[in-house]
């Protein structure tokens, strides 16, 4: 899932400076699961903002609503009748949701309440670890299901470098060396031949904004033209 | 393909010395944290005539310094042969190829292809590490530029750069069993010579060279054993505990301690010379790369005591 972390309160306070009526929009999917921007987090943030502004003798009306997903038009449509009443919108969705919200309501300022950090697994409640950088050229088949682009601090395709430190990365004893893990897993599977071959330079398909249309589908305007 | 009409790939002094079967002896110089060309000249003066070629580090330990290629030019002006180090951390493939063309145009003939320390270690820890390509792919790219006259993208190069291609190897980082295979990949990528991580654990190094011999790798590339004399007990302890991928056995520290007050540095040089004597006889080792970190002025003495002087003359 996509994981995010709430921004520092001071930063949020600064963004809302000067706005008197704000709608804080949560997202009920990834950010709700990772405890950053669901219904509960919307209520908590709103209470903090309300309190801080009262203490500053600068009261604000901050309301909350949480939609199922901010990255889907049908859910954002539920806000169409509400947004006009507010000076600004705050979004607790990931960067994708925030932008889709801003796109739907282009006349209203939209502020992010979270920092999106990546595609991660849920190791335990409140503990998430990044596993994918969505490079669009998946190499997991020959790296034993361990991503060197994400898990190696240098993103090496032909590791490990000389900085392996007792199985850990040179950047920290708490960060396992991805290539050490790749080696061990492939060795145990009898598949080391996969990494004996030189992996050619990546084409870095993630350098431009990407649009994805699945086979059999097309953009609506193309469909209309037919 | 791959060789000039004279039979050399690049024709650098280092290549000629190795090809003639001499035991190579290379040094290292770290450029200054500023514009002081005089500092480079001063360090170079100690290395002149004591080593065959001088590695010029490239923002070593991720700390900004005078560009490696620029310090290489100063060395050429001083009559020394540089070995242009390039890390994958600071440049994408365009900048790398541009610097290679420029360095070659100014007379650089050796190059060392490295991944580079992570930015977190350096003086700009929040810098974005580039790593567009890795060291293996860099070796491939330089070889292809030299032997096929092609850029990484496949386009033609006018007057391709003819470089003697080096890379690093670290026999002391886990997984040990994999290290010789990574060397094999570098050989396959097209490396001409290898300079190893500083060696202190001789047993492990002997084993690695033996594996490389058994796989025929030491016939396909030249191996220069990395040597760094310990200046003090503190330095040895620091390298043992703080430098990732470094293997300093307790015996080394015990010997430095046993040397007595004020004599650790001399003992460090003695250890280094004993290692060099062994490397001279070791099958599969073709020379020594001496990394006398901020100790350039000691290089003539170390070379003398290691009995590698005078350096052979090659045309």
In this structure, what is the dihedral angle of CA atoms A210, A215, A221, A222, given to the nearest 10 degrees? 120
| Domain total of chain A | 2
Question: Does one domain contain both A92 and A139?
Answer: no
Distance from the A200 Cα atom to the nearest Cα atom in chain B, whole angstroms: 6
Least confident of A12-21, A32-41, B200-209, B292-301: B292-301
Distance from the A26 Cα atom to the nearest Cα atom in chain B, whole angstroms: 31
For residue B2, the model assigns a pLDDT of 44
Q: Which CATH number covers residue A67?
A: 3.40.50.2300
Question: Does one domain contain both A108 and A14?
Answer: yes
DSSP-assigned letter for residue A165:
B
Strands (E), B162-213: 164-169, 193-198
In a domain, residue A206? The reply is: no
Q: Residue A223: pLDDT above 80?
A: no
Q: Residue A219: pLDDT above 90?
A: no
Is the model more confident about A96 or about A224?
Answer: A96
CB contact under 8 A, B115 and A184: no
The predicted model scores a pTM of 0.96
Q: Residue A26: pLDDT above 90?
A: yes
If you average pLDDT over every residue of chain A, what do you get?
Answer: 96
Residue of A nearest to B178 (CA): A183
For residue B1, the model assigns a pLDDT of 39
Whether B72 contacts B108, CB under 8 Å = yes
Which residue stretches of chain B have pLDDT < 70? 1-5
Q: Domain limits of chain B?
A: 13-305
Q: Which of B129, B171, B175 is the best substitution to test chain A (most A C-beta atoms within 10 A)?
A: B175
A61: which 2 tokens? 């009306």
Strands (E), B20-137: 24-29, 53-56, 82-87, 110-114
Please write the tens of the pLDDT for every residue from A135-157. Answer: 999 999 999 999 999 999 999 99
In a domain, residue A208? The reply is: no
In a domain, residue A67? The reply is: yes
Residue of A nearest to B186 (CA): A198
**How far apart, in Å, are the Cα atoms of B245 and each of A15, A170, A179, B75, B285?**
46, 8, 14, 30, 21
Question: Does one domain contain both A15 and A100?
Answer: yes
Phi and psi at B4, nearest 5°, equal -75, 175
For residue B140, the model assigns a pLDDT of 98
- Picking from B116, B137, B168, the nearest residue to A200 by CB comes out as B137
The number of C-beta contacts closer than 8 angstroms across A and B is: 95
- Residues from chain A that touch B135, judged by Cβ atoms under 8 A, are 156, 158, 161
Please write the tens of the pLDDT for every residue from A146-187. Answer: 999 999 999 999 999 999 998 999 999 999 999 999 999 999
Question: Does one domain contain both A7 and A112?
Answer: yes
CB contact under 8 A, A158 and B137: yes
d(CA A161, CA A154): 9
Domain, as residue range, for A196: 135-201
d(CA B211, CA B179): 10
Percent of chain A, pLDDT > 90?
Answer: 95
Task: Given CATH 3.20.20.220, say whether it is the number of domain B13-305.
Answer: yes
For residue B4, the model assigns a pLDDT of 55
For residue B147, the model assigns a pLDDT of 98
Residue A81 burial (CB < 10 Å; 0-12/13-18/19+)?
exposed
Gyration radius (Cα) of chain A, Å:
22
d(CA B203, CA B181): 19
For residue A221, the model assigns a pLDDT of 78
Least confident of A193-197, A215-219, B85-89, B180-184: A215-219
- Residues from chain A that touch B88, judged by Cβ atoms under 8 A, are 154
d(CA B177, CA B147): 32
DSSP-assigned letter for residue A29:
S
Residue A156 burial (CB < 10 Å; 0-12/13-18/19+)?
buried
Question: Does one domain contain both A24 and A113?
Answer: yes
B4: which 2 tokens? 């000039």
B254: which 2 tokens? 């015990």
ipTM over 0.90: yes
Residue of A nearest to B184 (CA): A196
- Residues from chain A that touch B182, judged by Cβ atoms under 8 A, are 158, 160
Question: Does one domain contain both A49 and A156?
Answer: no
Question: Does one domain contain both A9 and A38?
Answer: yes
Question: Does one domain contain both A175 and A69?
Answer: no
For residue B5, the model assigns a pLDDT of 66
In a domain, residue A176? The reply is: yes
For residue B293, the model assigns a pLDDT of 83
Instruction: Examine the fold and report which residue of A118, A151, A168 is the final residue of a domain before the chain moves on.
Output: A118
Polymer length of chain B: 315
Whether B191 contacts B165, CB under 8 Å = yes
Question: Does one domain contain both A98 and A169?
Answer: no
Q: Residue A34: pLDDT above 60?
A: yes
């Amino acid at each position: 899932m996509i994981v995010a972390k709430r921004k520092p309160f001071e930063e949020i306070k600064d963004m809302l400076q000067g706005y008197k009526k704000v709608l804080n929009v949560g997202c009920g999917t990834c950010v709700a699961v990772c405890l950053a921007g669901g219904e509960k987090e919307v209520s908590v943030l709103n209470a903090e903002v309300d309190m801080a502004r009262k203490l500053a003798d600068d009261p604000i009306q901050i309301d909350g609503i949480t939609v199922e997903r901010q990255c889907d038009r049908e859910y954002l449509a539920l806000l169409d009748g509400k947004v006009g009443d507010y000076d600004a919108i705050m979004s607790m969705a990931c960067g994708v949701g925030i932008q889709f919200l801003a796109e739907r309501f282009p006349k209203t300022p939209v502020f992010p309440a979270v920092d999106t950090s990546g595609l991660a697994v849920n190791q335990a409640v409140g503990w998430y670890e990044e596993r994918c950088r969505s490079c669009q050229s998946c190499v997991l088949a020959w790296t034993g299901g361990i991503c060197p682009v994400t898990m190696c601090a240098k993103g090496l395709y032909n590791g490990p470098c000389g900085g392996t430190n007792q199985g850990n990365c040179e950047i920290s004893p708490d960060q396992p060396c991805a290539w050490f893990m790749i080696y061990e897993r492939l060795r145990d599977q009898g598949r080391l031949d996969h990494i004996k071959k030189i992996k050619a330079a990546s084409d870095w398909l993630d350098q431009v904004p990407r649009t994805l249309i699945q086979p059999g589908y097309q953009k609506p305007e193309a469909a209309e033209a037919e | 393909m791959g060789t000039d009409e004279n039979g050399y790939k690049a024709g650098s002094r280092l290549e000629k010395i190795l090809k003639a079967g001499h035991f190579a002896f290379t040094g290292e110089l770290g450029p200054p944290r500023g514009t002081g060309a005089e500092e480079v000249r001063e360090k170079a003066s100690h290395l002149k005539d004591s080593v065959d070629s001088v590695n010029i580090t490239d923002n070593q330990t991720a700390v900004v310094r005078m560009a490696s290629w620029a310090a290489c030019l100063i060395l050429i002006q001083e009559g020394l042969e540089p070995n242009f180090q390039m890390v994958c951390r600071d440049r994408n493939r365009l900048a790398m190829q541009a610097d290679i063309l420029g360095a070659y145009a100014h007379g650089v003939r050796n190059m060392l292809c490295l991944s580079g320390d992570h930015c977190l270690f350096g003086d700009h820890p929040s810098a974005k590490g580039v790593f567009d390509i890795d060291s293996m792919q860099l070796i491939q790219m330089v070889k292809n530029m030299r032997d096929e006259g092609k850029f990484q993208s496949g386009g033609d190069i006018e007057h391709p750069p003819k470089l003697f291609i080096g890379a690093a190897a670290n026999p002391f980082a886990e997984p040990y069993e994999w290290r010789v295979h990574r060397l094999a990949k570098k050989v396959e990528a097209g490396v001409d010579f290898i300079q190893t991580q500083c060696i202190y654990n001789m047993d492990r190094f002997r084993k690695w060279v033996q594996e490389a011999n058994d796989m025929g790798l030491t016939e396909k590339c030249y191996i220069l054993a990395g040597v760094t004399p310990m200046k003090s007990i503190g330095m040895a302890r620091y390298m043992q505990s703080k430098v990732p991928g470094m293997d300093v056995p307790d015996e080394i520290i015990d010997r430095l301690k046993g040397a007595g007050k004020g004599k650790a540095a001399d003992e460090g040089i003695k250890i280094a010379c004993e290692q060099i004597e062994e490397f001279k006889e070791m099958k599969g080792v073709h020379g020594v790369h001496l990394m006398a970190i901020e100790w350039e002025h000691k290089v003539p003495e170390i070379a003398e005591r290691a009995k590698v002087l005078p350096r052979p003359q090659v045309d």
